[in-house]
Structure 1
Amino acid sequence: MRYRRRDILSTNRNWLPTVLMALALLTACSAEKEPMIIDKVRIGLALQPSSALVLVAAEKGYFSQSGLDAEVLEYPSGKRALIEGLLPGNVDIAVSTEVPIAEAALQGTKMKLVASTFTASNVNRVIARKDAGIEKPEDIAGKRVATQKHSAVHYFLHLFLLEHGLAESDIRLSFTKAEELPASLEWGTIDAFSMREPYISEAAVRLPNNHVIFAAPGAYKQFDIVVVSPELQKQRSRVIEKFLRALQMAEEYIEQHPKEAQIIVAYKFGVVPETVAAGWGDYQFQLGMGQPLLLLLEDIARWMRSDEQAIPNFLEMMAFEGLEKTKPQGITVFR
């Protein structure tokens, strides 16, 4: 039997709410069944406490919850994650300190900075052998001092020396890989080195009664920065947004469960949680992109550049789209 529209309306005038409710339920069910798109990504992880956001995100499953099939590749430092991981194309995302980024920018390398993940002003240390005649910072003059070239610990050493009336020309400076420094100090091939954890503690264990450690709180406020290739930023921006969402979940976890986060970091480095907790109060694990970071990048480039090199335009290197979708309040750069 064929019904004209007026016949249906006359039969039941209350049909419209019921139909609309049924359509809404069908739409909701369809949305629930729609599978999440999973994107593969390779992440360059620096093995240092400042990488806590990435470590926690990986341990707690936040990458997979955000729709990422994440492969995490480990590097001894942020510089190595950038130079050996991101720039040759071995990883898609790396987290590095500002100094290697400034160096790469001075060399004309194209990359995008999408967020900072960490800031602190009391991370790095200088550890020295007592039997080399070093009891106070000024005693380093004339001594054999090593560090990792053009990295955060190198810049810290530069500022540390200035604070004590010295320059790099006043020491016998050499450069080596971060993981080789503790053994070099133990064997006596160097008298001191500038580095951060876990290498400072490793060296102290190797020389239990023959070392002195110097800090310089406030001398250098450093950042860890998420770096991606321009291609990823243009062609796979969804991956960056998912990555930052996972780090945002990790940020909330660290804020709410600091002791559990310290255990995660300590387990990764094979140290007791008390070692990680000792410096935890100096760290800020927060997503953002601030004006102080921009100014610091420019200062580091001035320290590092040769006379003919121009200061890179770091503002143009910053890509804000991911943060604008995940944590817009974290952006304080003047644009």
Structure 2
Amino acid sequence: MFRKRTVYISYILFAIILFVAFSSEDGEGKRDSLVSIEKITLGVSTPDYPLFLALILLAKEEDFFKEHGLDVVYKFYPHGVASLKALQMDEVDMAIGAEFPFVKQSLAGGKMKIIASIAQVDALELIARKDRGISKPSDLRGKHVALIKGSQLEFCLDRFLIRHQLNLKDVKILNRTPPGIEKSILDGTADAVVYREPMASKIKAGLGENWINWGIQDQQMFFWIIASKDDYISQQHNAVKRFLQTIRQAELFLLDDPEKAIDMIIKKGNFDPESIYPMLPKIAYKLSLDKELLIAMEDEARWHIENGYSDVKEVPNYLDRIFFKALESVNPDSVNIIH
């Protein structure tokens, strides 16, 4: 009786071992098949994709989203301001834009939180026509400068002028939409414009040799951030975490094979490699929550208030506008904001 029982138990143990062995084979694929598919609608700015949103591109093109059980559907908007407004209006689940329009939305009562940033960029330039007698920053006094009022372009111009003993009152601002910025300097309506790559290269090409430029960010990076609303984050926190896990995988892919990743960016964006390669050192593709992001948002909120772009009297506490938990669970080393 004892021997029969021992043999019976041995058969059970053997069967368990076989089950574990076969279920472990191709375990990664089987595990993924058990993950429920979560659809995420993502608001994306057309001019920023794919150059500044490379990690999103790589995640999509390499099927990393699918591996993590996500069906990510893009909804394109003309700029980051529009994508963040779409998030506020519940048109999308998440949205990507720069931190500056996020600050603008927050001051207007927007209920959004930053989940992470995916790129840090220093690409803003002041481009001036040399035939208007402009060869140094002080020559901008009294000149017409085209930009989008109330935007990062005006914010950075203000800081640039102050560094050169001028201010916004010393120049004549022409408020233009993005297509109008390019047109105004090419047709001579404006003496100078504030714009960023890759559009800045088109302006220079249109002016031939008749231009001079300055980088005007003064090492204050722009952050391309992923944002969502409180209710979505609380109800879909697992999807938010999986989304960041995917972006982290894309980040590691770029670090492991930058040549292949850059080639994908150039092909997807149909870029001229010669115009893109000089841009790449100005972009840090990085999944993070950096303290510089917090400092930038506080500075930009202060500027809005001081220049009459907001009725808010005090700078908000932007620690309350950041959701730390998801990124801390994915890659804690990428979070250096004390909170």
Deviation per CA, 1:47-100: give whole Å up to 9, x if none.
Answer: 2332221222223222222222122233343223223x3222232221221211
In structure 1, distance between residues paired with 2:253 and 2:140: 42
In the superposition, relative to structure 1, how do residues 180 and 269 fare at CA in structure 2: closer, same or farther (>3 Å)? farther
Cα shift at 1:194: 1.0
Q: 1:43 corresponds to which residue? A: 42
Q: 1:93 corresponds to which residue? A: 94
Q: 2:20 corresponds to which residue? A: 24
> Aligned pair 1:331/2:327, yes or no?
no
Q: Which residue of 80, 83, 92 maps to 1:81?
A: 83
**In 2, are the aligned partners of 1:159 and 1:219 still within 8 Å (CA)?**
no
Q: How does 1:221-260 map to 2 (within 5 A)?
A: 221-260=221-260
Cα shift at 1:304: 0.9
In structure 1, distance between residues paired with 2:221 and 2:329: 27
Cα shift at 1:19: 4.2
Cα shift at 1:7: 6.8
Q: How does 1:295-334 map to 2 (within 5 A)?
A: 295-305=295-305, 306=308, 308-334=312-338
2:277 aligned counterpart, secondary structure: helix
In the superposition, relative to structure 1, how do residues 6 and 96 fare at CA in structure 2: closer, same or farther (>3 Å)? same
In structure 1, distance between residues paired with 2:115 and 2:216: 29
Q: 1:66 corresponds to which residue? A: 68
Gap runs ≥5 in structure 1: none
TM-score by length of 1: 0.88
Q: Percent identity?
A: 27
Aligned residues: 329
In structure 2, distance between residues paired with 1:87 and 1:13: 61
In the superposition, relative to structure 1, how do residues 12 and 237 fare at CA in structure 2: closer, same or farther (>3 Å)? closer
Amino acid at match of 2:156: F
In structure 2, distance between residues paired with 1:190 and 1:298: 31
Q: Which moved more, 1:291-300 or 1:5-14?
A: 5-14
Q: 1:130 corresponds to which residue? A: 130
TM-score by length of 2: 0.87
How big is the alpha-carbon RMSD for the aligned residues of Structure 1 and Structure 2? 2.5
Q: 2:267 corresponds to which residue? A: 267
Gap runs ≥5 in structure 2: none
**In 1, are the aligned partners of 2:98 and 2:222 still within 8 Å (CA)?**
yes
